[in-house]
Amino acid sequence: MSLKAQLEAIIYAAESPVTLDQLIELVKDSVASEGAADGTEVKSRVRLALEELVADYYAPDHGIEIRQVAGGYRMSTKPEQHDVVRAFAKSLKPPIRLSLPALETLAVIAYKQPATVPEISEIRGVDSSGVIATLLDRRLITTAGRKAVIGRPILYKTTKEFLLRFGLKDISDLPSMEEFEKLVAQSFQSDLLPLEGEAPQSPAPEPEAAAGALPTSEGTESALPVESRAGEGVE
C-alpha cells in the first residue's frame, strides 16, 4: 500500500483531527522499510505525501477535502457541497437506540432464526417477551409463522431493515458470535444511559447448557448510530 493511501485511510477513519506526529508514529515502520534512512527522512516523506494528498482532494472533481483543524487533519465535505449534503442528511433515518437486553435478543434471533420467545428466553436466561415488542416496533424483526409444537408459538426472524441498519448484504455476513460479543462489550464501555422502557432487574444466572448465550447486563442502554460521514463539514 502506498504511503498516501495509508494516510488517507487513517484520516478517514479518525473521529478527531489527526496530527502530523500521530501520522508519522503510525506509518514510520512502513516508511522505514521502504528505505528511509532515519527519523528526519521519515518525517519528510510523510509530510510530502500528506501535502500531495491534500492537493489531490483540493481538485474540483472531489466533493471532500482534507482540512487542517485544531492542529490536525480531517476530512470534511467542501463548502460548495453543503446544500446537497444537508438535504441528504435530513433524509437519513435517526440512529437506532437499543437497550442491551434488546441487542442481546436481536442477536439471538439473528443467529438462531426463526426462533420463538421461549427459545430466546432460555438462551438469555431472562424473559424476553417485553423486548420483542420493541424490536417489532423498530421493524428489526418480523413474524415467520408458528412453530409446529404444542401451543404453536410465534416464530421470529430478522428483516430487510435489520440488514440495512447494520450494513449487511445478507445473514451470512453476520460476524461470528465471539466477534459479536466483543463488539457488544466495546459498545457498552462508555456512554451508558438508563434503560428506556424497561424496569431494572437483577441479572439472572445464565443456564450452563445454553450454547452461545450472551452475557446479560440488564438496565443499560447504548446508542448504535448508523455509520455515515455524509454530514461532516456541514455547518
**Residues 212 and 101 placed together within one structural domain of the fold:** yes
Decide if 229 is inside a domain.
Answer: no
Place of cell 450472551: 214
- Provide the pLDDT confidence category of residue 55 given band limits of 50, 70 and 90: very high
**Residues 68 and 105 placed together within one structural domain of the fold:** no
The CATH number linked to 72 is 1.10.10.10
Pick from 51, 80, 109: which residue ends a domain? 80
**Residues 60 and 108 placed together within one structural domain of the fold:** no
Decide if 150 is inside a domain.
Answer: yes
- Provide the pLDDT confidence category of residue 181 given band limits of 50, 70 and 90: low
Per-residue pLDDT for 223 more than 70? Answer: no
**Residues 161 and 189 placed together within one structural domain of the fold:** yes
**Residues 27 and 103 placed together within one structural domain of the fold:** no
Decide if 90 is inside a domain.
Answer: no
**Residues 34 and 128 placed together within one structural domain of the fold:** no
| Phi (first) and psi of residue 71, to 5 degrees | 80, 5
**Residues 29 and 69 placed together within one structural domain of the fold:** yes
Decide if 164 is inside a domain.
Answer: yes
pLDDT given at position 175: 81
Decide if 91 is inside a domain.
Answer: no
Here the cell at position 232 is 461532516
| Phi (first) and psi of residue 98, to 5 degrees | -125, 140
Decide if 200 is inside a domain.
Answer: yes
Select, from the ranges 38-52, 55-69, 203-217, the one with the highest average predicted confidence (pLDDT).
55-69
Task: Name which residue leads in pLDDT, 212 or 65.
Answer: 65
Rounded Cα distance between 226 and 167, Å, is 8
DSSP character string of 140-195:
SEEEEEE-SSTT-PEEEEE-HHHHHHTT-SSGGGPPPHHHHHHHHHHHTSS--BPP
Decide if 235 is inside a domain.
Answer: no
Here the cell at position 226 is 448508523
CA distances from 134 to 139, 142, 187 (A): 9, 11, 20
Pick from 80, 104, 134: which residue ends a domain? 80
Rounded Cα distance between 19 and 93, Å, is 33
Pick from 32, 51, 80: which residue ends a domain? 80
Q: Are 117 and 132 in contact (CB under 8 A)?
A: yes
pTM above 0.75, yes or no: no
Q: Are 95 and 224 in contact (CB under 8 A)?
A: yes
% of residues, the chain, pLDDT over 90: 21
| Cis amide prior to 114 (ω within 30 degrees) | yes
pLDDT given at position 197: 42
Q: Are 92 and 228 in contact (CB under 8 A)?
A: yes
Per-residue pLDDT for 208 more than 70? Answer: no
**Residues 73 and 114 placed together within one structural domain of the fold:** no
DSSP character string of 47-95:
HHHHHHHHHHHHSTT-SEEEEEETTEEEEEE-GGGHHHHHHHHHHSPPP
- Provide the pLDDT confidence category of residue 204 given band limits of 50, 70 and 90: very low
Decide if 100 is inside a domain.
Answer: yes
% of residues, the chain, pLDDT over 70: 75
Mean pLDDT of all residues in 210-222: 38
When divided into structural domains, the chain yields a total of 2
Average pLDDT, the chain: 77
**Residues 7 and 104 placed together within one structural domain of the fold:** no
Question: Is the sign of the CA dihedral 170, 172, 175, 180 positive or negative?
Answer: positive
pLDDT given at position 190: 42
**Residues 100 and 215 placed together within one structural domain of the fold:** yes
**Residues 43 and 72 placed together within one structural domain of the fold:** yes
pLDDT given at position 40: 81
Mean pLDDT of all residues in 152-157: 94
Domain membership of residue 113 as a residue range: 96-224
